Structure 1
Amino acid sequence: MKIDFPAVPRGPRSYVLLDLESAVLDDTAHRRYQRMERWAPNDGALPSRRGYTRGEDPLQTPRWIFQTITTASLMIMTEHVEGGVEVVRFVTYSAPEQDEHAVLSGILSVLADAPADAELVTWGGAMHDVPLLVAGCMRHGLTLPGGWKWLAFGGGNGARHLDLARIMTGGFRMKPIHMAEVLAAMDLPGKLTAPPFAVARLIYAERWEEVSQACEVDVLSTSLLLARWRQLHDPRVDPGVVEDRILRQVIELMPNRGYADELRARRSARFAAQVTSAAIEAKTLAPGL
């Protein structure tokens, strides 16, 4: 006899959106690696292995494992029962106030305080943010909070990690693309304070306010992409309405950030366009009014 157990309806979802910024700030560990390989600097003209260019040569150009996490931005977002969203928290940890240990501790604190079933949302986090986070926690002897220990296995939990870059490329089977390309294609705001290539330079110049804002804008853009993704399976609320609510709440939480004026201008322009569209529609449908 077949027995069907009714599935328990899932309640509104919760999300933790994360973005990290990092750079190679300490060459000590990389020099240890050079000593392990018995490698001595030359005039820079010859690679350490045949076929390498200097930029590809790990003995001359430190790879990602030697990067220091300088900045992390996190947004906690929850869904409404009727399909809307709420930005519950938007926080940034960054140098110079926090060193890498403090930034990582801040991330773990946010994860620990997040709703028990919250999902991690990133852009390319499977290839960048999660490996950096795991390596940094191992380096500093930090323990992942309960409910998030699956991150220790690479963040590949499809039920808890929504990597929008993975989704947009068919599981990375299509050629990787930049988030800015997707934002431009969907007419969503992004890179409002600095182009992507400039962030490392800002870190080396210790322009921490600009680094923090660039990190926050990436989280904001990720949240707007998430709103569009939700529409694929939840048609109850127009994505434009969800976008406007996210922008309004971010402006309220970060009113003095350099990107706030651009968000205000976008909201005003969208509202004006809606008023014009409504007027045209009313004139068409009811010309006698």
Structure 2
Amino acid sequence: MKYEPRIGVERRPRSYIVLDVESAVIDESGHRRYQATERYSPGNDNNQPARRGYTRSEDPLTCPRWVFQTIVTASIMVLTEHADGNLDIAQFVTLSQPDHDERAIVAGLFQLLQTWPDAELVTWAGMVHDIPLIMMAAYKHGLTLPRGWRWLSFGGNDPARHLDFARIVTGGFKMKPIHLAEVLAALDIPAKMTAPAFAVTGFIYAGEWDSVQEACECDTIGVAWLLARWRRCHDGRADIDVATDRLLRRIIELREGRGYVAELQARRRRFLVEAGRRAMAA
């Protein structure tokens, strides 16, 4: 991606939409229709796979695959380029059960995308998770992508409009896949501040929606922070200290009361002390 404007053309500030969704199999009617097409009757199978050569967890007849999942939460952060080269948070929106069903969540996402037609999408593994789930929901509920975003219907693999950091940090998925939390830990960026990834499905089935929303927002925050680091590689004005303080301050303001805010407040206090020491030593 190029940051240099064309000669004689003033470059507009860039905008980014950082997105994360959470999902689970909460409506099994579709999976039962699939079982019916395969003439499969669940019955008492003693926890055995339905077909030879499968383990139970691999057999789509007994273990619904991703296509039968329902989106229950979406966290969306809109970031705009500041004149100093860093990022400002323009919007931080979470759409989630119990207040919104899947249709309302995806329709709300599309409405937000419509207001930012030139933005770049930013995700972690969005090409292999978030975008396929969103498009399946669009098919299911008869939703139309807004203008400027219909490229998502082809898989969302446009490297100029979609910064999928799972693809970027692995050289186009050529290196061994890794978890977002590994990358964030290596860069000392806060990750999974309220719960580990494996706990989220349990929160969904238990209807603990505040916990689901916090987990989803934590991933969005981590990816936004990763985006700030990535931008420094392209724009020398994008000072890491300025970006760190600005993101911390704005998230604390916008998400007062969330379970992860205390950790971000403590991190910001430490950051300001360390920045003051560096300034005095300079």
* Equivalent-residue separation in structure 1 for 2:128 and 2:8 (angstroms): 34
* Equivalent-residue separation in structure 2 for 1:44 and 1:238 (angstroms): 59
Scaled by the length of structure 1, what TM-score is found?
Answer: 0.92
1:107 alignment partner AA:
L
User: Which stretch shifts more, 47-56 or 148-157?
Assistant: 47-56
* Equivalent-residue separation in structure 2 for 1:45 and 1:102 (angstroms): 36
Q: What RMSD over aligned residues (CA atoms) do the two structures have, in Å?
A: 1.4
Identity of aligned residues (%): 55
- Give the alignment of 1:1-289 within 5 angstroms: 6=7, 8-41=9-42, 42-114=44-116, 116-279=117-280, 281=281
* Equivalent-residue separation in structure 2 for 1:9 and 1:64 (angstroms): 44
Deviations 1:231-288 (A, max 9, x none): 1111113212102101111111111211111111101001112223334x25xxxxxx
Scaled by the length of structure 2, what TM-score is found?
Answer: 0.94
CA contact (8 A) 1:14 1:77 kept: yes
**Structure label with greater radius of gyration:** 1
Which consecutive residues of structure 2, in runs of 5 or more, have no partner in the other structure?
1-5
* Equivalent-residue separation in structure 1 for 2:192 and 2:46 (angstroms): 35
Give the length in aligned residue pairs: 276
CA contact (8 A) 2:231 2:238 kept: no
CA contact (8 A) 1:11 1:81 kept: no
CA contact (8 A) 1:191 1:217 kept: yes
* Equivalent-residue separation in structure 2 for 1:20 and 1:79 (angstroms): 24
1:265 alignment partner AA:
A
Give 1:151 shift: 0.5
CA contact (8 A) 1:69 1:100 kept: yes
Give 1:110 shift: 0.9
CA contact (8 A) 1:192 1:259 kept: yes
